[in-house]
């Protein structure tokens, strides 16, 4: 039975985020109680046709029943909170989250019509969940209120870094709380779980303040409008743009619902301060000179329906882009979005505007620790065991090598993936039998009803097209009354393809004449004969394999 671990056994079970970027969810289980750290989503990969979102398979948590005590959130990015509105339809448990993440989740739960017990956690204010004593530790990241978690268990303390970097000059002057981490290290840490995103990157990740000079230069030199696009939750980046707009006499217009929402929440929480007169509505743009405007805008990843791509394509009703304008893409490229972003940049250049992005200007820095910072955390925490988390497999491998480079023994570092179970007792740690883990697809209002076989069919349809074969048969005599008629989509052009389709019809008719009249009274057998005949014909003549759907009407 899940969770049936005897006393004295701690189990660490990643259900997402180890082997991919996104889907972050990690379970800690002791005795008959369990908690989960984070519950994020992943945006669909190219082969996931028609899929809106991907969330982790949490069947294991559902099997735990009342033994599952709730979710603890490290910060408010979608890859750490985005799955909660979907999974909490079935899992009625509390959620503990830092202020900004809690505010974002409150909006999500309201939109989804969910009544969730949401508790706000704050650094250095410990609380208990069953056998777990939990304390949040402030860390710097590319969103406010990011925390690491110290989880004290009867076997020892587990430190989960969350997403972090060790920024010594953060915008809000609130550096990572290394003192708190050192206090736990002095008492002894059983296990460190640490962010692996930048484990392949040498050196240190630059401070958030390092982008200020590059942004200042663009704002001071741009003769027209400045379009600024970043992740909507990056409050510190937005605060710099707000300050620069004020400095250079530019009114700010926000375009995009998520941006408006993040600015509203950050302002309510006291993380953004500005005179209300600094902001203007899109309807006021015609009244302002181009060099008096900053547009905060969504779409840095080239999303097809985002405001920025619509403006770049000249398809936005209220906002236009012109030759003197500057466009700043102040975010990292999420893997898989390279082509979309490249296409968008081409559209922007066709408008005559100038594009500034991480490859040609100092307009973005990562929110994740590089190798020297990872080493520093390892040496500071000095754990007995180490597990790299949050990253593709190559990131985990690289981070494990970092741990060994600072003196950790190979047998004390574990490379695990989603579904693996790492079990601790008083003497040792070992990997045991895995649990169910994987991905659940969200398609429209459907959650989990699209499986791999459906995606396979979608890929088949997208690559080879569809042929619908329609015919009517006398259900008593087996005589063909009408047809076969062939309707195609994405296979061959209807104009100019009629002669070929007539040949295909003749092949079907001939195949049906080869079977007995009695067999033709069985619609299932007729469908199979039609499918086989067309499949052979298309493969032989065109070397194509469309989806063939026979439709037999029995008269």
Contacts of 147 (CB under 8 A, 6+ apart): 74, 75, 98, 121, 123, 136, 137, 138, 139, 162
Say how far residue 542 (Cα) sits from the centre of its chain.
Answer: 39
User: What is the token pair recorded at 198?
Assistant: 């930048």
- Bridge partners, residue 25, by sequence: 16
Tell whether the torsion through CA atoms of 296, 302, 307 and 311 is positive or negative: positive
Tell me, yes or no, if 368 is annotated catalytic: yes
Residues 447, 24, 89, 59: what is their CA dihedral angle, to the nearest 10 degrees? 70
- Bridge partners, residue 16, by sequence: 25
**Up-side HSE of residue 267: CA atoms within 13 Å toward CB?**
12
The 8-class DSSP code of residue 435 comes to -
Nearest to 197 by CA among 398, 405, 12: 398
- Whole-angstrom Cα distance, residue 342 to residue 418? 32
Which residue is it, tokens 């754990």?
383
Across 154-197, the runs of DSSP E, i.e. the strands, are 156-160, 191-195
- Coil, helix or strand at residue 439: strand
95-97 and 127-129 beta bridge pairing: unpaired
25-30 and 33-37 beta bridge pairing: antiparallel
b or e along 307-342 (b: 16 or more beta carbons within 10 Å of the residue's beta carbon)?
Answer: bbbbbbeeebeebebeeebbbbbbbbbbeebeebbe
Please pick, among 368, 390, 395, 399, the residue that the annotation labels catalytic: 368
Contact 161, 90 (CB under 8 A): no
Contact 354, 160 (CB under 8 A): no
- Whole-angstrom Cα distance, residue 515 to residue 53? 47
Contacts of 354 (CB under 8 A, 6+ apart): 325, 326, 327
Tell me, yes or no, if 195 is annotated catalytic: yes
User: What is the token pair recorded at 77?
Assistant: 């990015």
Nearest to 188 by CA among 150, 134, 161: 150
Please pick, among 195, 325, 418, 443, the residue that the annotation labels catalytic: 195
User: What is the token pair recorded at 303?
Assistant: 């999303």
- Whole-angstrom Cα distance, residue 300 to residue 319? 16
The 8-class DSSP code of residue 544 comes to -
Nearest to 259 by CA among 279, 226, 234: 234
Residues 532, 537, 539, 542: what is their CA dihedral angle, to the nearest 10 degrees? -150
Residues 251, 255, 261, 262: what is their CA dihedral angle, to the nearest 10 degrees? -70
Active-site positions read 195, 368
């Amino acid at each position: 039975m899940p969770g049936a671990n005897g006393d004295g056994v701690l189990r660490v079970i990643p259900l997402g985020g180890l082997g991919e970027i996104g889907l972050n969810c990690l379970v800690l289980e002791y005795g008959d109680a369990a908690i989960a750290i984070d519950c994020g989503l992943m945006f669909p990969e190219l082969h996931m046709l028609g899929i809106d979102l991907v969330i982790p398979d949490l069947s294991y948590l559902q099997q735990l029943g009342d033994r599952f005590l709730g979710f603890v959130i490290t910060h408010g990015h979608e890859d750490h909170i985005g799955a909660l509105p979907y999974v909490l339809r079935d899992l009625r448990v509390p959620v503990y989250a830092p202020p900004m993440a809690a505010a974002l989740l409150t909006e999500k739960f309201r939109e989804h019509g969910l009544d969730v017990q949401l508790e706000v956690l704050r650094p250095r204010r410990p609380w208990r969940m069953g056998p777990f004593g939990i304390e949040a530790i402030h860390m710097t990241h590319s969103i406010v209120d990011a925390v690491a978690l110290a989880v004290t268990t009867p076997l020892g303390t587990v430190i989960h870094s969350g997403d972090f970097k060790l920024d010594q000059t953060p915008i809000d002057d609130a550096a990572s709380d290394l003192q708190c981490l050192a206090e736990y290290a002095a008492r002894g840490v059983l296990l460190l779980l640490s962010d692996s995103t930048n484990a392949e990157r040498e050196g240190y990740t630059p401070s958030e303040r390092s982008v200020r000079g590059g942004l200042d230069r663009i704002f001071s030199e741009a003769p027209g409008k400045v379009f600024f696009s970043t992740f909507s939750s990056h409050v510190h980046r937005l605060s710099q743009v707000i300050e620069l707009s004020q400095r250079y006499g530019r009114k700010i217009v926000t375009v995009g619902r998520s941006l408006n929402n993040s600015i509203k929440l950050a302002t309510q929480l006291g993380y953004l301060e500005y005179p209300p007169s600094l902001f203007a509505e899109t309807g006021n743009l015609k009244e302002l000179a181009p060099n008096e405007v900053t547009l905060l805008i969504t779409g840095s990843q080239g999303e097809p329906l985002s405001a920025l791509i619509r403006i770049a394509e000249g398809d936005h009703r209220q906002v236009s882009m012109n030759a003197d304008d500057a466009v700043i893409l102040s975010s990292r490229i999420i893997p898989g979005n390279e082509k979309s972003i490249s296409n968008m940049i081409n559209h922007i250049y066709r408008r005559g505007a100038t594009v500034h992005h991480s490859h040609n200007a100092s307009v973005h820095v990562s929110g994740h620790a590089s190798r020297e910072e990872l080493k520093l955390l390892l040496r500071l925490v000095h754990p007995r065991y180490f597990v790299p988390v949050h990253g593709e497999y190559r990131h985990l491998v690289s981070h494990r090598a970092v741990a060994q480079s600072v003196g950790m023994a190979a047998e004390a570092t574990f490379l695990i993936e989603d579904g693996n179970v790492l079990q601790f007792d008083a003497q040792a740690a070992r990997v045991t039998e895995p649990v169910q883990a994987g991905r659940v697809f969200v398609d429209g209002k459907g959650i989990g009803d699209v499986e791999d076989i459906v995606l396979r069919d979608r890929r088949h349809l997208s690559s080879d097209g569809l042929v619908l074969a329609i015919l009517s048969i006398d259900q008593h005599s087996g005589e063909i009354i009408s047809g076969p008629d062939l309707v195609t989509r994405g296979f061959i052009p209807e104009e100019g393809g009629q002669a070929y389709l007539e040949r295909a019809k003749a092949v079907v008719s001939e195949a049906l004449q080869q079977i007995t009249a009695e067999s033709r009274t069985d619609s299932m057998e007729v469908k199979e004969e039609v499918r086989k005949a067309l499949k052979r014909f298309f493969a032989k003549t065109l070397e194509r394999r469309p989806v063939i759907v026979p439709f037999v009407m029995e008269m």
